[in-house]
Amino acid sequence: MTGPMLLLLITSALLAQIGAGAGIAFWRYQRRRARFAAPAAVAPRGAWAGWRQFRVVGREFEDAAQSQCSFYLAPLDGQPLPPYKPGQFLTFRLTPDPAAPDHPLVRCYSLSDQPGPARWRITVKRVPAPAGRPDLPPGVGSGFLHDWVQAGDVLDVRAPAGGFWLDPDPATPAVLIAGGIGITPMFSMAAWAVSHQPGRAVHLFYGVRDGAELAFGETLARFARAHPAFHLHRAFSRPRTQDLPGRHFETEGRIDLALLKENLPRGRHQFYICGPQAMLESLVPALHGWGVPPGDVHYEAFGPASLPAPQTEVVGAPAEVHFARSGRMLDWDGTAANLLDFAEAHGIAVDSGCRAGSCGACETRIVAGEVAYTHPPDHDIAPGHCLLCLAKPATALELEA
């Protein structure tokens, strides 16, 4: 065989291998793309599956009371971070008990800044024992982060998720209403808006007890000074003597419909509300009563607390539920709120986080049977899986858990 002929055959073989490799790579890419495909509100492009390790590269308190601490996070692999929707959150797998590493604590915390490719930020408020109930424990997740997590520590993190995020349409003014630590997703929205849409009308109503609890105070004031379209309205329910009206806050009292009517111009607005249950229970119905269309009112409560969502009819008849990994066969009688509560009530340990259908921590494979949801989840569920926190059995059911 001549040299040119041999070279031609070798070249052809190499090209065939390269072509096959390119085909395999494309197929793998398509599989990855299909796996990550989700509504834009849930999974940002380039998000990862499962857990990814992040190093804490800094931490700082955001309020004078030092009850709200920011943690700056950078990916351990050094790869650029994907964009996320301002208002979304991260899910963390924490191990506050080093003696029980196999029983981690899963918690969700809002991203508290605009997206960046190198590092992200969350801001966590320490949760004390409930007022008047010193016998009840304080927040385990927030206490662990505040007391033990320092710069240099590594945390397991799921990709950004959640359907509570700022509509990017600059034509519609945004009204951001925050109560307490509910400022975290609102700050993300505000920072993104003033950076990418400086001419967009944004009204931030921020309610706290007093100036010691005001987070991001200097930055928000700077936004208001530098951007005429950004309007800051701070409401202190119990201001201190050193909190001066007109300088540190605009209104004494709580945020209510009368305050919104007094300060908002006429016309359509998109409302975003994040705060304690009492705030949502007051403002959301009031906005609807004012004539704001339901599609223009978006809200998120702390943790699993939320307003009752429109209910979907769910089969409540008795059914057998088989938890395959745990080896338990249990009778569902329809009294539990969802399969997550049902499992926990019977001593079956299941990972969970937001308990509201957003984080995906309780996603479980369905071996056989069907489930129905009390309301549509935000998380993009993999085929053949379900979210236990929102699901009830529609038939006899076998789950992988």
- CA 44 to the chain's CA centroid: 12
Sequence-distant (≥ 6) Cβ neighbours of residue 44 within 8 angstroms: 82, 83, 84, 85, 88, 159, 160
- CATH code of the domain in which 198 resides: 3.40.50.80
For residue 393, is pLDDT > 50?
A: yes
Domain CATH number, residue 102: 2.40.30.10
Give the number of other CB atoms < 10 A from CB of residue 300: 25
Q: Considering the domain boundaries, does residue 79 fall inside one?
A: yes
Query: CA-CA distance, 261 to 287, in Å (whole number)?
Result: 10
Same domain, 203 and 294: yes
Judgement on whether residues 256 and 146 belong to the same structural domain of the protein: no
Same domain, 295 and 216: yes
Residue 165 lies in a domain: no
User: Tell me: the pLDDT tens digits for 147-170?
Assistant: 999 999 999 999 998 889 999 999
Q: End of a domain among 273, 301, 329?
A: 301
Do 152 and 192 have their domain in common?
Answer: no
User: CA 108 to CA 42: how far, in whole Å?
Assistant: 14
Which DSSP helix (H) or strand (E) runs through 329? strand 328-332
Residues 338 and 252 in one domain: no
pLDDT the model gives residue 44:
54
CATH number at residue 384: 3.10.20.30
% the chain with pLDDT above 90:
66
264 and 178 in one domain? yes
Q: Which of the listed residues 160, 194, 211 is the one where a domain comes to its end?
A: 160
One domain for residues 60 and 154:
yes
- Asked, for residue 203, whether it belongs to a domain, the answer is yes
Within a domain: 68: yes
User: Whole domain around residue 355: which residue ranges?
Assistant: 319-399
Q: Do 122 and 188 fall within a single domain?
A: no
* The pLDDT of residue 34 is above 70: no
* pLDDT tens digits, 181-206: 999 999 999 999 999 999 999 999 99
Give the helix ranges, DSSP H, for 37-139.
Answer: none
Q: Give how many domains the chain has, as a whole number.
A: 3
Q: Are residues 350 and 392 in the same domain?
A: yes
Q: What is the spatial distance between Cα 281 and Cα 261, in angstroms, rounded to a whole number?
A: 18
On whether residue 310 sits in a domain, the answer given is: no
Residue 3 included in any domain: no
Look up the pTM and report it. Answer: 0.78
Does residue 311 form part of some domain?
A: no
- How many whole angstroms separate alpha carbon 12 and alpha carbon 17? 9
Q: Provide the token pair at 391.
A: 């699901």
Q: Are residues 207 and 265 in the same domain?
A: yes
Q: Per residue in 343-381, pLDDT tens?
A: 999 999 888 877 878 778 899 999 999 999 877 787 778
| Domain end point (choices 246, 267, 301) | 301
pLDDT digits (tens, 9 = 90+) for 228-254: 999 999 999 999 999 999 999 999 999
Q: Which amino acid is at 68?
A: Q
Q: What is the mean pLDDT of the chain?
A: 84
- Asked, for residue 229, whether it belongs to a domain, the answer is yes
pLDDT at 135: 65
pLDDT at 18 over 80: no
Per-residue pLDDT at 315 exceeds 80: no
pLDDT in the model for residue 24 = 28
204 and 294 inside one domain:
yes
Two structure tokens written together for 255:
């945020």
Per-residue pLDDT at 104 = 83
| Pairwise CA distance, residues 202 & 68, whole Å | 24
CA distances to 45, 59, 84, 109, 141 from 117, rounded to whole Å, are 13, 18, 10, 19, 26
Q: Are 230 and 268 within one domain? A: yes
